[in-house]
Amino acid sequence: MSLEFHENVSLKQYNSFGFDVSARFFAVLESADQLNDVRAFAHDNDIEVLFIGGGSNLVLAADLDQLVVVNRIKGVQIVDGQNGEVLVTAGGGEEWHPFVRWTLEQGVYGLENLSLIPGTVGAAPIQNIGAYGVEIKDRMVSLEAFDLETGTQVCFDCCDCQFEYRDSLFKSRFPGRYLITSVTFALSREFRPILHYGGISQQLEARGITSPEPVQLSDLICEVRNTKLPQPGLLGNAGSFFKNPVISVQQAEQLQKDFPQMVVFDDKPGCSKLAAGWLIDQLGWKGRREGDAGVYEKQALVLVNHGEATGADIIELAGEIQADVYKQYGVMLEIEPRCYP
Ligand code: EPU
């Protein structure tokens, strides 16, 4: 099937902030076979390509003079291995949360803690999505991607992807170069719940659940997320707007002396991670609004579009928050979503 290209298309429904910017050219990709059409079109029109998934980690600050391609490559496949290990492959355009719930329906476990994360399977490795003690890198075996530069299909093993906290080679080294067509996960028929993180075990206890069923755990994660994070359909947002900053243990210890309540987590050797939400909250930003750009009232790490904010308004607000946090704590917050143009 050949690909249809459209001109001057509004991206409002394709980004979770709901910014009403347009793409000069636009196409919806249904199959990996169509990727050579994308490459040819970009070459013929001398235009850059921007691949997007669910648009849930994007700040679109102005109209894009690009070819925007939405990945809708679908399909799921399960292959049982030995000792209860299961390999599950999903198309890059599958929506993440329905995919997680589908794995549970198949009696395949390992992704429960990543329930309700917005976006698509193909976008998930780009920022190494994570929640409640699990990151996609802990479950991924490999992925297939189309290389826009060479026009070839490439396979990356997990260790090739240079995964870090909310980062990968696709985000930091080669932004825009690859479209992830499918991802393969190593999951299990045996349920081994991870409950130690973010008060999950206490929440289960409070509900009188001592050993949760997989779906119960997924439901609880959804419930917890819904109390902290706005639903993009109701209030435009891109989840956490800043990364939790990783600093040296020495700097963290000094900060804790100055601010004894500061939330600090252990990180890789020699490093500590601070809760950016706590830093922003302490400075009184939670619930604040500048026009329609605001800080979510229940979680200071989330910036929201109350209606007519533009991406530029959100970036301006983010800049004020960064400056304020830096002034008070000497720590520079890094913006987490990808910003265009
Ligand atoms: N906190 C505050 N005030 C706030 C927000 C947080 O004091 O307004 C404190 C909390 O009380 C807690 C600490 O900061 O002590 C951490 O907060 P929380 O547990 O809500 O998690 P987070 O660090 O804000 C991270 C991820 C989320 C993920 C959760 C759970 C990042 C940037 N964010 O949030 O991921 O769901 O942990 O694992 O790492 C995302 O990436 O978009 C995202 C939502």
Contacts of 59 (CB under 8 A, 6+ apart): 17, 19, 238, 311, 314, 315, 335, 337, 338, 339, 340
Q: Atom 24, ligand 1: which residue's CA is nearest?
A: 277
Question: So what's the pLDDT on residue 198?
Answer: 79
Look up the pTM and report it: 0.96
Q: Between β-strands 302-305 and 264-266, what pairing exists: parallel, antiparallel or unpaired?
A: unpaired
Structural domains of the chain in order of their starting residue, each with its CATH number: 6-71 (3.30.43.10), 76-188 (3.30.465.10), 236-340 (3.90.78.10)
**Which among 137, 163, 223, 240 is the best mutation to test ligand 1's pocket, defined by most ligand atoms within 8 Å of the CB?**
240
Q: Is the pLDDT of residue 1 over 80?
A: no
Q: Is the pLDDT of residue 29 over 90?
A: yes
Known catalytic residues are 166, 240, 336
Distance 223 CA to ligand 1 centre (A): 15
Structure tokens at 238: 């891109």
pLDDT per residue over 111-154, tens digit each?
A: 999 999 999 999 999 999 999 999 999 999 999 999 999 999 99
Question: So what's the pLDDT on residue 199?
Answer: 87
Q: Between β-strands 64-71 and 22-29, what pairing exists: parallel, antiparallel or unpaired?
A: parallel
pLDDT per residue over 34-54, tens digit each?
A: 999 999 999 999 999 999 999
Q: Is the pLDDT of residue 2 over 90?
A: no
Mean pLDDT across 73-98: 96
Give every strand in the sheet of 140-147, ordered side by side: 76-80, 85-91, 178-188, 140-147, 152-157
For residue 336, the ligand 1 atom closest to its alpha carbon is 32
User: Which range (31-45, 136-150, 196-210, 269-283) has the least confidence?
Assistant: 196-210
Structure tokens at 4: 């249809």
